[in-house]
Amino acid sequence: NLRDTISLRRIVNFPSRGIGMKTLDKCVQKADIDKIELFDVLKNAEKLAIRGKQSDSLISFYELIKKYYDLRKKLSANELTRSLIEEAGVLKLFKESTDPVDRERFENVTELLNSIDEFCQKRPDSTLSDFLEEISLLSDIDHWNDSDNRVTLMTVHSSKGLEFPVVFVSGLDDGLFPLYNAMDTKEGLEEERRLFYVALTRAQERVFLLYATNRRRMGGENVLGMPSRFISEIPNDYLERIEFQSALTRRVMGGSLQKRTRVAVTRTVTTFDDFKVGDMVDHSIFGVGKIMVLSGTGENQRVGVIFKDGTKKKLIVKYANLSKIS
């Protein structure tokens, strides 16, 4: 929506393009004086006594948005969104950041892209407008009616101060909750643990803790998962295990971790470049783990692995002698 001035002001300098508030205020004043849209002012930034990099950045931003505005009915929702996010540098910004909050934002954007992918699989010819119409049916949690018989979806942060008879906490996979990057420091892990405590204590009567044995990541790739370490920290007396398997190969975790069923697996010796993020691997010393980070190629390939006991290791594939579990 090129007339949405509020949203435009929020994104014009995100990721940072070196556009200051004074520069943006000049553009807003020009739009008010000429009674035109703020977006139309940006393409003529050089006429506003704005010089150098800021002028170039405004024009570049205008061209970026105009490009995808023109493509909005030509590309599917997932093609349009992925291309725009990548070209704008949003994912790159969050992925390269060392801030745990940015890592959470990266996961949020990734899940958004996955949701759009699934939407487009059901409706191949759909546009981004179609997807937005679909999700607009979701209600704002600030305007719910407590008497309504319905499920309220929210983040853990949004749930602070609220209580419900029954709560479902999803995404309790190691590497997702807690986030992989947060496990690098004691402080980061403790912050994730406090967040889990918030989620757990929203329930007045009953709470369901869920993790996925198979999770679809960005690009449509399925990866194997391990239950969050936070589940194992709860005394077994307070847990009841329920599990089921659907067409999506999901598992609900709500009970004792000691009642695991042994599953026969096939281990194969893997050569360089055969590994990918999400692979389950076996190490002669550390046991079974999940690849969370991958870098380099060939003999220089390195992997970051979380093992089932919570140990995190960065290994050189050439020397680690890892076997992929299929």
Paired tokens of 188: 């980061």
List, for residues 36-55, the tens digit of each pLDDT value. Answer: 888 888 887 777 777 778 88
Rounded CA gap, 159 and 173, in Å? 20
Structure-block tokens of residue 262: 């042994």
Task: Show the tokens assigned to 257.
Answer: 């971790």
Report how far residue 252's alpha carbon sits from residue 87's, in angstroms, rounded to the nearest whole number: 37
pTM of the full predicted structure?
A: 0.44
Any residues with CB less than 8 A from the CB of 223 and at least 6 apart, and which?
Answer: 214, 215, 216, 217, 277, 278, 279, 290
Tens digits of residue pLDDT in 192-237: 999 999 999 999 999 999 988 777 665 555 666 778 889 989 988 8
Packing angle, helices 100-122 and 77-88, rounded to 10: 160
CATH architecture of 267-325: Beta Barrel (2.40)
CA distance 206 to 165: 7
- What CATH superfamily classification does 5-71 receive? PCRA; domain 4 (1.10.486.10)
Tokens linked to 308: 């089932």
The CATH T-level fold of domain 100-135+151-253 is: Rossmann fold (3.40.50)
Count other C-beta atoms under 10 Å from residue 38's C-beta: 20
Q: Where in the chain is the domain with CATH 2.40.10?
A: 267-325
Q: How far is CA 172 from CA 17, 257, 261, in A?
A: 36, 14, 19
User: In the chain, where does the domain assigned CATH 3.40.50.300 lie?
Assistant: 100-135+151-253
pLDDT tens digit sequence for 138-164: 544 444 555 567 788 888 887 877 888
Q: Are 128 and 81 in contact (CB under 8 A)?
A: yes
CA 279 to chain centre: 19
